[in-house]
Structure 1
Amino acid sequence: MLKSWWKKQTVISLVSLSMLLLTTATAYGETVIEKIARTGKITAGTSKDAIPFAYRNEQGELIGYSIDILELITQQLETDLKQDLELELVPLQPKQRIPKLRDGSVDIVCDASSFTWQRDRLIDFSLSYSSTGTRLLAKSDSNYRYDTSFAGKRIGALAKTTNEKAIRLAQPSAEIVIFKDRAAAYQALDQGKIDAFADDGILLESWLQNISNPQDFQIFGEYSREGIACMVAENNSQLLNAVNYTLAKYMQGYLADQPEYVEIFERWFGAQGVLPLTDDLRLIMIDNMQLLLDFTQRVPNNNP
């Protein structure tokens, strides 16, 4: 009976070991693009409250400029892999983005992520397809616009964002209050629980244009300038190449007035878009696109 028990345990152990080795081989021997080809699905991390880049609409759907970029990337991968792909969107908090990429929970992140050297040590960034910077939002009846020091003041920020880092460096004497999402920070500001909220300027502008009392708030200061880009796990050059090719093709098409690409940009930043840009901001975005493309090989018009 003991011999039979040992035999049974040995079989169970060998089966368990085989499954472990198979799982390990799959996890460590497969690139992200191989995983996408095998599963027929690209799992993309994004935001749920970064208007107009990635956010939930009234129907609960994730939409935005970066979601449209993800759709273009999916189309390019379908062409490259010669198969249909499903795009699965996964809403993430900013602090979740890099961990989820590194553990393979998501294949790519496109929201309003900005480049930093510290992040670049952990993941790889795509070409930049937009630009922003850290600014402050406060009540209109405050005099903070003219203050150089916020010593003792409570400034809200989202955890693990460039905004948190920028405001900590610029205002070391301020009390930084961390929020889990933008809705909680906006509510705290409205209720007077914080004095200001640090976020991407373009996101603050979008929020103001979508509330009923924009006159009650003001945006001021400039504490950083950053390019917005997608992120992928390190050592996945084939996927990164496809992402960069897609972004270069999109920006090149927009600057050449190709309708399908102009429509995407105008949907979010045009005069009738979610966040109408001022002429100055539009020129800055266009100049940034052109500058980036000046250092990138042109995508042939007849290439898929």
Structure 2
Amino acid sequence: MSSPGPSAAPSPGGSAPYGRPLSLSCRRARRLGRALCSTATLAALAVAGGLAVPAAALAGGAVERVARSGELVLVGPADAPPLLSGGNEGQPQGYAVLLGERIAAELARAVGRPVRLRLVMEPDLAATAARVTAGTADLACGIPFSWEADMTADFSMPIGVSGLRLLAPAGRFDGNPAALTGRPIGVVRSTLAETELQGMQPEARLVPFANLSEALDALEANRVEGVIGDTKVLAALARARGLKDLALVPDQPFESYGVACLLPENDSAFRNLVDLAIARLLQGYVDGRPEDVAAVDRWLAPGTGPGAAHEQVDEIFQGLLLGREAIRPLPAADGDQQPEPGS
């Protein structure tokens, strides 16, 4: 099932969210490497949101497909809040949609035309990854890194942090893996949760499902005694269903991990633009940019405003950005005035 998706991303003619677009001089280009300073190379440069990208680097792969179609295809499950869920009138919404819209806008600046985000709902998480590797979707966001998946696809920079915990009726389990021996425990097949359960308690009765929503159906029907999965998605699903007397254990996750967007393998031009869009959003949140704070808090710290949840997201984003150059607004410049460090 597919959705027409949100409105088209802003036209590249609009204002860049982090300063004006730059025309690279040879002196500025030397910051990116002396090889960029030939006249022929500079003539071929395309401008992407204030950062120069060689036009040749945009050829082929997902960027070229997007340039032809004007469409970016995001795939994911329809019932996995806060990443993706059906909103008003079934329109998908969530943190993954926010990321998809920002990535579409980054691509629009790079390819020189509006780019529309199209959402394809795929209830089976294993099939979600398969769509990306097969090229029928451009990306899926909210995927934990795994070495197996990395053999056939690539991962963006992280978009957040989560962990694996067990959802079950309060008091049934204390989070000790020994208590899972012989107990039917639901997991989503071909995920980190399945691997983790097999590793920490091979004597548990593993019951696989296509997605966490199906696993919770089984928990409500007493066909499994608990469900192991992503803490944030399990908590959001339980709230949305109005489920009470359930508890997430242990206090600290069985395993913590970063989540990212799954991308086609060996497509560095696309991955670079995806990472740039993610970094812009995370940096804007850390810097207190109102539109970025409001957009992220809606999904990751809903209804809190300033407080513990917001501060936790801020701290996580700061950590995720440690390995990236800060993206700062550029001052007005005349001639060849140099940008501030980190621009």
What is the TM-score normalised by the length of structure 1?
A: 0.83
Q: CA deviation at 1:258?
A: 0.6
Counterpart of 2:328? 300
Correspondence 1:17-166 to 2 at 5 A: 30-92=60-122, 93-110=124-141, 112-145=142-175, 148-166=178-196
| Map of 1:285 onto structure 2 | 313
- Corresponding residue for residue 338 of structure 2: none
How far is 1:183 from its partner?
2.5
**Structure 2 counterpart of 1:302, one-letter code:** L
* Counterpart contact for 2:297–2:310, Cα < 8 Å: no
Number of aligned residues: 271
Amino acid of the structure 2 residue aligned with 1:244: D
Match of 2:303 among 259, 262, 272: 272
Question: Secondary structure of the residue that 1:59 maps to in structure 2?
Answer: helix
Task: Give the distance between the partners of 2:128 and 2:241, measured in 1 at CA.
Answer: 28
Q: Equivalent residue for 1:192? A: 222
**Residues in 1 aligned to 2:229 and 2:319: alpha-carbon distance in whole angstroms:** 25
Q: CA deviation at 1:278?
A: 7.6
C-alpha contact 2:177 2:200 (8 A) present in aligned 1: no
Give the alignment's Cα RMSD to 1 decimal.
Answer: 2.2
Matched to 1:288, the amino acid is I
C-alpha contact 1:157 1:177 (8 A) present in aligned 2: yes
Q: TM-score, normalised by structure 2?
A: 0.74
Rounded Cα–Cα distance in structure 1 between residues aligned with 2:183 and 2:70: 50
Structure with the higher fraction of residues in helix conformation: 1
Residue 249 of structure 2 corresponds to which residue in structure 1?
220
State the match for 1:261 in structure 2.
292
Q: Which residue of 2 aligns with 1:238?
A: 269
Seen in structure 2, the aligned counterparts of structure 1 residues 164 and 277 have a Cα distance that, compared at 3 Å, is farther
Other structure's SS at 1:257 match: coil
Offset, 1:291:
2.0
Paired position in structure 2 for 1:15: none
Structure 2 vs 1, CA of residues 82 and 147 (structure 1 numbering), >3 Å: closer, same or farther?
closer
- State the AA in 2 paired with 1:75: A
Moved more, 143-152 or 156-165: 143-152
Identity of aligned residues (%): 24
Unaligned runs of 5+ in 2: 1-58, 332-342
Query: Aligned partners of 1:69 and 1:169: how far apart in 2?
Result: 33
Residue 179 (1) aligns with residue 179 (2): no
Q: Could you tell me whether the CA contact under 8 Å between 1:270 and 1:277 is conserved in 2?
A: no
